[in-house]
Structure 1
Amino acid sequence: MGRERVAVLLPAYDEEGAIAKVVGDFRAALPDAAIYVYDNNSRDGTIEAARAAGAIVRTEPQQGKGHVVRRMFADIDADIFILCDADDTYEAAAAPAMAARLRDENLDLITGVRISDQKEAYRPGHRFGNRMLTGMVRMIFGDRAKDMLSGYRVMSRRFVKSFPALSRGFEIETELTVHALELQLPMADHDTAYSERAEGTESKLSTFRDGARIGAKILTLVKDERPLPFFSLVALGLVLLALIIATPRLIEFLNTGLFPFVGTAVLATGLVMVGVISLATGLILSTVTQGRREMKRLAYLRHAAPGDDQ
């Protein structure tokens, strides 16, 4: 890997049954990398097992993967960052090729696209949810992500140090993808094997609960990153609702000349006014969003590309 400093980041919660193997696999794949395990309030022997395996062990008391990733990105400095779930489902042996590709092609984000024919490894509910949520992001933010919810990422320093990391839980993967798409950063996908979890460990991801949270995060990101389209749709919906309410009364007025529906008129007028305010809000926030995007871009440009001489 040349002179680049490589850091492997492993968020861990109750991974005693897998963490030693994961650390060992990454040590074998990347002998010169610094391997960090950030424990997130494990109730088993994860910390002891990770330390015995030779990892640098730190803790993050705020529960949730988003909190752990935010702490990792703030604490650790490297040229290439490899973020991977510590449950022994991802292919550590793919890391050197992914890191080399990041450097050689001057990329900022490589996502490990999960390839598996094991039903238990990639459950149908998770597979469907991933496709649906990834499809939403592709449609709204750009068609450059195949596996948005993958927990295996290789990132440049300039990507990590410009990433705001605002999520608290598993929504962090969505935020990582949208950050790259919104700044139009060079990114790629890399197929990696995906296998069943290690015996004695269990998935922390709930199909419905976390799926709902990720969906809500996508909606929030649309509001924050695309405020004009978002609030324009709200405005359009309010105006259409006002027309639906007012049209029957207007027809009746034209037929009879009577209009004893003052309440309806006030409601419809109010809806139109709120719609106009919503549109104005979108226009104002689009300017604010552009300023935020420029600030993130400037933070990104402060750091050298992965392939540049260090």
Structure 2
Amino acid sequence: MELTILLPTLNEAGNVSSLIAEAKDVVSPIVPQFEILVIDGGSRDGTVEEARRAGARVRTVEGLSYGRSLREGFSQAEGRLILTLDADLSHPIRIFPLMWEAMRGSGAQMVIASRYVAGGRVERPFFRDLLSRTLNKISSSLLDIPLNDLSSGFRLYEKKALDSVTTRAVNFDIQEELITQFANRGYKIMEVPGAYGPRHEGMSKANVLLFAFSYLKTLSRMWWQRRTKI
């Protein structure tokens, strides 16, 4: 199989079926053979049932955090490439063709839909945007990785490359950990213009202060890994 679309979910019943339908419309003309894999952390609102009705393969593991959900999805994915994005419709799946062409044309092992390159777009509260931009600039400088958006979760990966790295981050800080691991192995990482908008239905599960703390904690560990190339 060529592609797995990986969606970590927790109480996304109001969004997941719409996203799956849109993903099929966007992806099927480009990639004939793909699967949609939902890793659910124990939803109580019918997310699992909605996802299955929409045609996704669903695996439920109670209490999974975001980082653990990604790791579970990476291990379960059958595609040669893996696309990750948020299940709340904040990442526009219509950008996928640009990511697909960038990977095919460059030989990259990771393509990031970046909010902070020319042509990128962000729609969210000022404080959250400022915090994200600041953390990304600090991370890029300290880790000596010349990327603009190390925390975007809208990515296309080569599964073979993913299988060669080891992560332990629990929360959203897995994004910078994956980039560090790829950079340490000399893998090529590309950015294309991406976008991030407000969720369509439901409540966000992201705790901004917890995210910042986890991010900075992981950053110190990644800084050491970059120095030692572990």
TM-score of the aligned structures, taking structure 2 as reference length: 0.90
* Aligned equivalent of 1:108: 109
1:215 has 2:219 as partner: no
Alignment of 1:35-184 (within 5 A): 35-114=36-115, 115-116=120-121, 118=123, 122-184=124-186
Q: What secondary structure does 1:28 align onto?
A: helix
SS of structure 2 residue aligned to 1:37: strand
Unaligned runs of 5+ in 2: none
Larger radius of gyration: 1
Aligned residues: 222
Would the aligned equivalents of 2:82 and 2:157 in 1 still touch at CA under 8 Å?
Answer: yes
Match of 2:5 in 1: 8
Higher strand share: 2
In 1, the alpha carbon distance for the partners of 2:96 and 2:212 equals: 28
SS in structure 2 at match of 1:129: helix
Whether the 8 Å contact between 1:65 and 1:170 is mirrored in structure 2 is yes
Distance 1:16 1:74, change over 3 A: same
Q: Deviations over 1:233-270 (max 9, x none)?
A: xxxxxxxxxxxxxxxxxxxxxxxxxxxxxxxxxxxxxx
Of 24, 27, 47 in structure 1, the residue corresponding to residue 24 of structure 2 is 27
Paired with 1:74 and 1:60, the residues of 2 have a C-alpha distance of 13
Q: How far does residue 94 in structure 1 lie from its aligned partner after superposition?
A: 1.2
Deviations, residues 148-205 of structure 1 (Å, cap 9, x unaligned): 1111000112221112121111111111221222223211111123222113x12111
Deviations along 1:73-122, whole A, 9 cap, x unmatched?
1122321110111110111111122122212210111111133363xxx2
Contact 2:3–2:78, Cα closer than 8 Å, also in 1: no
Larger RCO (CA under 8 A, 6+ residues apart): 2
8 Å CA contact 2:114, 2:149 repeated in 1: yes
Aligned residues of 1:8 and 1:35 also touching (Cα < 8 A): yes
Cα distance, 1:62 vs. partner? 4.0
% of aligned pairs identical? 23
C-alpha distance in structure 2 between counterparts of 1:138 and 1:34, whole Å: 33
Partners of 2:38 and 2:122 lie apart in 1 by: 29
Q: Is the 8 A contact 1:18 1:86 kept in 2?
A: yes
Could you tell me whether the CA contact under 8 Å between 2:109 and 2:157 is conserved in 1? yes
SS of the residue aligned with 2:149? coil
SS of aligned partner of 2:219: helix
Instruction: Tell me, yes or no, if the aligned pair for 1:108 and 1:159 is still in contact at 8 Å.
Output: yes
Q: Which has the higher helix share?
A: 1
Aligned Cα root-mean-square deviation (Å): 1.7
- In structure 2, the CA distance between the partners of 1:224 and 1:106, relative to structure 1 (3 Å rule), is closer
Please give the secondary structure, in 2, of the residue aligned with 1:82: strand
Residue pairs, 1:264-283, within 5 angstroms? none
TM-score, normalization by structure 1: 0.68
What residue identity is the alignment partner of 1:5? E
Native 8 Å contact 2:113 2:152 kept in 1: yes
